Amino acid sequence: MTPPAILILCTGNSCRSHLAEAILRGALTDDFRVASAGSKPAGYVHPLAIRAMEEIGIDISMHHSKHLAEFLTDEVGTVITVCGNAEQVCPIFPGQMNRHHWGFDDPAHATGSEDEQMAVFRRVRDEIARVFRAYAAGLLDSRK
């Protein structure tokens, strides 16, 4: 039996939602299903997001930007929005039991040199990691 998905939503599905998806997937066991999508997908995963995750040993280079409509017929048990825009436009999914909103700055809007932009990607990655690893620990504890 396929478990209901934990769907992480953001507007562009190019940075924050991919960071959160990969971190949460890595913190959970294989009997959880984690995915990400966007309300207005950018069509790519930001190269600096890929690089920021490589720095902590997680490869998201094969991720791709998806529209949330791809999941409307899927069994989604939990929706987590990581930006305010996605929270406002997020539909209710059939069978959805839980909804959370944890907003994070959008590193795609970082300005300055590449080093300065990477500093923002690292900060947001680390903030997402703290929140989503704690969430994963709670999910795993609730199964004991």
Predicted local confidence at residue 86, as pLDDT: 58
CA dihedral of 7, 13, 16, 20, whole degrees rounded to 10: 30
Predicted local confidence at residue 65, as pLDDT: 96
Q: At what angle do helices 114-142 and 16-27 cross, to 10 degrees?
A: 40
Q: Is 15 noted as a catalytic residue in this protein?
A: no
Predicted local confidence at residue 143, as pLDDT: 82
pLDDT tens per residue across span 22-70:
999 999 998 999 999 998 999 999 999 999 999 999 999 999 999 999 9
- Structural domains in the chain, CATH included, are 5-142 (3.40.50.2300)
pTM: 0.92
Which residue type is seen at 94? P
Predicted local confidence at residue 87, as pLDDT: 62
Predicted local confidence at residue 84, as pLDDT: 73
Predicted local confidence at residue 83, as pLDDT: 86
**pLDDT tier for residue 91 given thresholds of 50, 70 and 90:** low
Measure the CA–CA gap between 129 and 117, rounded to whole angstroms: 18
pLDDT tens per residue across span 96-143:
678 899 999 999 999 999 999 999 999 999 999 999 999 999 999 988
Catalytic entry in 7, 8, 9, 10: 10
Which residue type is seen at 4? P
CA dihedral of 33, 39, 40, 46, whole degrees rounded to 10: -40
Question: 24: closest CA among 107, 118, 140?
Answer: 140
Catalytic entry in 9, 20, 82, 90: 90
Q: Which of 72-76, 90-94, 105-109, 127-131 has the lowest mean pLDDT?
A: 90-94
For range 68-79, the mean pLDDT: 89
